[in-house]
Amino acid sequence: MKSDVQGVHIALPQASVSGGLSLTEALKKRRSCREFSAAQLSLDQIAQLCWAAQGVTHPEGYRTSPSPGALYPLTLFVVDRHGVYEYRPREHTLVRSAGTDLRKLLQRAALDQECVADAAACFVIAISVEHLAARYAERAEQFCLLEAGHVAQNLLLQATSLGLAGVPVGAFRESQIDRILRLPSSLRSVYLVPIGYPRN
C-alpha cells in the first residue's frame, strides 16, 4: 500500500466471495492472538479484511455488517508500516490520510499493549453518534457500539479464514487515539483490532 502522496486513492483488489474456511471452521479456530511475526499483509489480504468488515454486498448499498436503518455510522481505518488509510466501502478503495507508521503511538495510547504495534496492521473502528442521533436519539450511541462489535467479529473471523490472527482491543485512551489519527470531531475511536500472522 506504499504511496508518497497523501490523499491518494488506492483501488483494492476485488474481494473473494467463495472459498476459505467454512464459517463453523472459522468459529472453531478463532483465538485471540497477541504475539505476531514480522510478516506483512498483502494488498489482497487487506482488501478481503476491509470487505469483510464493511464491504458492500447488495446493489442497494447493504454491507457485510448489519447497521440500524442501514445508515452505517462507522468508519474503518487501517494503520500499517506505511501510514493510515480510510476504507471507502462504496468504491472499495483506501484513502491515505497519513504517511508515517503510527502504530507505536497507538500502542502507547492503548496502555502500552505491544500487540497494537507488533501486528502487521491495526484496524481502527470509529463511530459517528451524530449520524444516528436524528433517527435514534438516546439509543444512537448504543447502536453505534453494537455495530462496532459486528464489524470487529467479521474482521476476526475473516482473519482466521485467511490463516491470520487478531485480537480485539478495547482498553485505550480514546482521545489520544483520535488525536493520533487526526479524526474529525464527528468521529471517535471505539475499537482497535490488530491483525497479522501469529508468531507461532
pTM (predicted TM-score):
0.93
Per-residue pLDDT tens listing for the chain (200 residues)? 555 556 788 999 999 988 888 999 999 999 999 999 999 999 999 999 999 999 999 999 999 999 999 999 999 999 999 999 999 999 999 999 999 999 999 999 999 999 999 999 999 999 999 999 999 999 999 999 999 999 999 999 999 999 999 999 999 999 999 999 999 999 999 999 999 999 97
Q: CB count, 10 Å around CB of 62?
A: 13
H-only helix segments in 61-200? 103-109, 115-118, 130-136, 140-161, 174-181
CA gap 184, 83 in Å, rounded: 17
CA gap 28, 163 in Å, rounded: 13
Question: Do 133 and 165 form a contact (C-beta atoms < 8 A)?
Answer: no
Query: Which of 3.40.109.10, 2.40.160.20, 3.10.590.10, 3.40.1280.10 would CATH assign to domain 21-196?
Result: 3.40.109.10
Residues 6+ apart with CB under 8 A from 150: 65, 66
